Amino acid sequence: MNAYRVADRWAALGDPTRQAIVAALADGPRAVGELAARLPVSRPAVSQALKVLKDAGLVTEQPVGTRRIYRLDPVAVAALRDQLDTYWNRALASYGEVVEQPTADQPEERS
């Protein structure tokens, strides 16, 4: 996995419009017009956001007649989820270590 590509994916999700597009595409493939109809931004803004998401590898496009249909790339989304799972597991392990440490006002148990 290319670390820079994953960083691009996280950066691409830093914009509320792009997040809304990803949420809409999670429900299924959509054309630009369909996405623009659901969002409070212009069609060119949706196209620009889709380009960023596509460049980050989160979205793929397929020409169908005169339209382009966009969908989430399940492999890219799974890679982000795997990274989040890794962060979550590390955070839980770290929390567990802190909880298990005796505090200054609590004597350590001896066997």
Q: What is the CATH number of the domain that holds 59?
A: 1.10.10.10
Answer whether residue 92 is part of any domain: yes
Alpha carbons 21 and 15: distance in angstroms, whole number? 10
Q: Is 67 exposed, middle or buried (0-12, 13-18, 19+ CB in 10 A)?
A: middle
Q: Which residue has the tokens 């001896």?
A: 110
Q: What is the pTM of this model?
A: 0.77
Answer whether residue 27 is part of any domain: yes
Answer whether residue 111 is part of any domain: no
Which residues constitute the domain of residue 47?
3-98
Per the structure, the count of domains in the chain is: 1
Tens digits of residue pLDDT in 34-80: 999 999 999 999 999 999 999 999 999 999 999 999 999 999 999 99
Answer whether residue 69 is part of any domain: yes
Answer whether residue 91 is part of any domain: yes
What is the overall mean pLDDT for the chain?
88
